[in-house]
Amino acid sequence: MNHKMNIRESAENYLETILIINERKGSVRSIDIANELSFSKPSVSVAMKNLRENGFINVDDSGFITLTDMGFAIASKMYERHRIISEYFILLGVEPDTAVKDACRIEHIISGESFNAIRGQYERLKNERNEQL
C-alpha cells in the first residue's frame, strides 16, 4: 500500500532529515538531503522552497540550509519520537529494520498522550534491563 504522504508528514520528514544531517556533518545542502532520502534534486528543491517560504528553514547564498527556531522545534520533536519509538520496539523484540520503518510512520500520527505513555514504558523497560546487567 503506497499512500501519498501528506504535506505535514513530508515537511516533518525533511526537517528531521536536516537536523540529522547537520548533527552528522555540521552543514546541510539540498544535495545532502536528496542523497539521504534517495529523492531527486528537483523535488528536494521544491520542498526546500516551501519550507523556506513557511519559515521553517533559512538558505544562505551558498546553499547551506539551517533550521529556524520553529523548524528546529518540529525536527527535534520528530527525531525524539523516532528514536524512542524505534528503540522501544527493538526492546520488545521487533527486528531493528522493521522497528525503524514502523517508527517512521508512527512518529507523525501518534498523539502526544500516547507518545508520552510509550516513552514512560520505554524508560521503565530500559531501566529494568540496565538493573539486570
pLDDT in tens, 61-95: 999 999 999 999 999 999 999 999 999 999 999 99
Same domain, yes or no, for 102 and 127?
yes
* pLDDT surpassing 80 at residue 110: yes
Report yes or no on 24 lying in a domain. yes
What pLDDT band is residue 116 in, cutting at 50, 70 and 90? very high
Domain count, the chain: 2
SS (H, E, C) 15-71: HHHHHHHHHHHCCCCHHHHHHHHCCCHHHHHHHHHHHHHCCCEEECCCCCEEECHHH
Q: State the CB neighbour count (10 A cutoff) for residue 47.
A: 21
Report yes or no on 39 lying in a domain. yes
User: What's residue 8's pLDDT?
Assistant: 86
Same domain, yes or no, for 42 and 64?
yes
More confident of the two residues 113 and 6: 113
Report yes or no on 118 lying in a domain. yes
Chain-centre distance of CA 79, in angstroms? 4
Domain boundary among 23, 42, 72: 72
pLDDT in tens, 11-46: 999 999 999 999 999 999 999 999 999 999 999 999
**The domain that contains 88 carries what CATH number?**
1.10.60.10
Q: State which residues form the domain around 50.
A: 7-72
What pLDDT band is residue 2 in, cutting at 50, 70 and 90? very low
The β-bridge partners of 59 are 65
User: What's residue 7's pLDDT?
Assistant: 62
Report yes or no on 1 lying in a domain. no
Same domain, yes or no, for 11 and 68?
yes
**The domain that contains 67 carries what CATH number?**
1.10.10.10
